């Protein structure tokens, strides 16, 4: 997982910093050249701000990076206005090709940005649940209604699924880049509470918590609990081994302890997965159709924060 981390740093931090310097040091170029770069930089930054995986780095860097780019944009516009740079000036074949290239790239990131924004909305009736974690700041790593911000869309049963981690006060989700010690992840061992009243139709315990980056590709959900309510199955997955506090047949109340966040199943690191679905047997989380879920009437998407 070292390579994905480095790529995230490059894509979400290094490139925007480069873009900020690029805009500033080229502000005297012919107008269309500079504004085509501006078009690319704005929509690249908007895309990574909305859809970037900011839990890999310090969450608050998201605003620092956006602020840095915005400062460069405003400073460049002011300089151009004060110095009277011709906005529509072109000089030579190179100045005709480069702006077109930057505009094409900008359009690609504009489309991705629009897709990420669309992911903040859903169609149909949503199931309203109570947020299952308490005592901290929680970050949504996967969530939303488009693939741009939620990889769960590739699976029909969990298409509105969410993955959630916890942040330390500084905005980091772990002490270290990608530690192997589970206790260094802020969310590991966090108590998980029932998001609703309902019947426990399945509960699995006893599967091991894996050391990152090891995964279990057979028991995908790891240790989990399924709660059945009004025709909906709600799955809470990747729970800690030996801590699941309910069993099949139990009636649970909203806010009742179910277990603790672990790293069992097909996980890259400790997190809580939750989704709701309709259809199929009450005990099987691999069949059915995923439905939108709102927590306290709020639809959570990637980069949403919940403070409890």
Domain boundaries, the chain: 2-118, 127-307
> Which of the two residues, 87 and 218, has the higher pLDDT score?
218
Going by the DSSP 8-state scheme, the letter that residue 208 receives in this structure is: P
CA count, 13 A, side-chain hemisphere, 2: 1
Q: How far is CA 244 from CA 223, 239, 257, in A?
A: 8, 7, 9
Task: Compute the mean pLDDT over every residue in the chain, rounded to the nearest whole number.
Answer: 92
What does R_g of the chain's alpha carbons equal in angstroms?
A: 23
Integer Cα distance of 153 and 289 in angstroms: 11
Beta carbons within 10 angstroms of residue 197's beta carbon: 15
User: Binning pLDDT at 50, 70 and 90, where does residue 177 land?
Assistant: confident
Does residue 153 register a pLDDT over 90? yes
Cα angle value 111/123/48 (rounded, 5°): 30
User: Binning pLDDT at 50, 70 and 90, where does residue 31 land?
Assistant: confident
Which of these, 217, 210, 259, lies nearest to 235 by C-alpha position? Answer: 259
Per-residue pLDDT reduced to its tens digit, 46-64 = 999 999 999 988 999 999 9
Spatial CB neighbours of 191, under 8 Å, sequence gap ≥ 6? 133, 134, 135, 257, 259, 260
* CATH level 2 (architecture), domain 127-307: Distorted Sandwich (2.70)
pTM of structure: 0.93
Does residue 273 register a pLDDT over 80? yes
Share of the chain above pLDDT 70, in %: 95
State the pLDDT at residue 216.
93
User: Binning pLDDT at 50, 70 and 90, where does residue 93 land?
Assistant: very low
State the pLDDT at residue 3.
75
Does residue 80 register a pLDDT over 90? no
Q: Which two tokens stand for residue 232?
A: 């909906």
Does residue 169 register a pLDDT over 80? yes
Going by the DSSP 8-state scheme, the letter that residue 174 receives in this structure is: B
Span 40-50, mean pLDDT?
Answer: 97
User: Binning pLDDT at 50, 70 and 90, where does residue 90 land?
Assistant: low
Integer Cα distance of 14 and 268 in angstroms: 24
Share of the chain above pLDDT 90, in %: 80
User: Binning pLDDT at 50, 70 and 90, where does residue 89 land?
Assistant: low
Span 98-123, mean pLDDT?
Answer: 95
Per-residue pLDDT reduced to its tens digit, 191-228 = 999 999 999 999 999 999 999 989 999 999 999 999 99
Does residue 2 register a pLDDT over 70? no
Does residue 35 register a pLDDT over 60? yes
State the pLDDT at residue 112.
98
């Amino acid at each position: 997982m070292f390579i994905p981390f480095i790529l995230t740093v490059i894509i979400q931090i290094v490139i925007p910093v480069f873009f900020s310097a690029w805009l500033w040091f080229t502000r005297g170029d012919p107008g269309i050249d500079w504004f085509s770069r501006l078009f690319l930089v704005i929509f690249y930054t908007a895309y990574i701000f909305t859809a970037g995986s900011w839990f890999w780095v310090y969450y608050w860097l998201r605003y620092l990076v956006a602020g840095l780019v915005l400062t460069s944009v405003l400073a460049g516009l002011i300089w151009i206005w004060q110095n009277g740079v011709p906005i529509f000036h072109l000089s030579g074949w190179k100045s005709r090709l480069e702006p077109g290239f930057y505009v094409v790239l900008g359009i690609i990131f504009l489309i991705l940005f629009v897709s990420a924004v669309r992911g903040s909305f859903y169609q149909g009736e949503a199931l309203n649940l109570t947020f299952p974690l308490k005592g901290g700041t929680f970050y949504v790593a996967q969530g939303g209604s488009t693939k741009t911000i939620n990889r769960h869309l590739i699976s029909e049963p969990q298409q509105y699924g969410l993955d959630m981690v916890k942040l330390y006060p500084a905005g980091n989700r772990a002490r270290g880049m990608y530690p192997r010690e589970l206790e260094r992840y802020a969310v590991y061992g966090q108590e998980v509470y029932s998001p609703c009243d309902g019947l426990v139709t399945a509960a699995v315990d006893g599967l091991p918590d894996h050391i990152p980056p090891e995964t279990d590709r057979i028991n995908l959900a790891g240790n989990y609990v399924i709660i059945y309510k009004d025709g909906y199955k709600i799955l809470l997955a990747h729970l800690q081994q030996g801590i699941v506090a309910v069993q099949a047949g139990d009636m649970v109340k909203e806010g009742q302890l179910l277990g603790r966040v672990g790293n069992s199943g097909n996980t890259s690191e400790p997190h809580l997965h939750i989704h709701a679905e309709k259809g199929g047997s009450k005990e099987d989380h691999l069949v059915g159709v995923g439905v939108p879920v709102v927590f306290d009437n709020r639809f959570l998407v990637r980069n949403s924060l919940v403070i409890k």
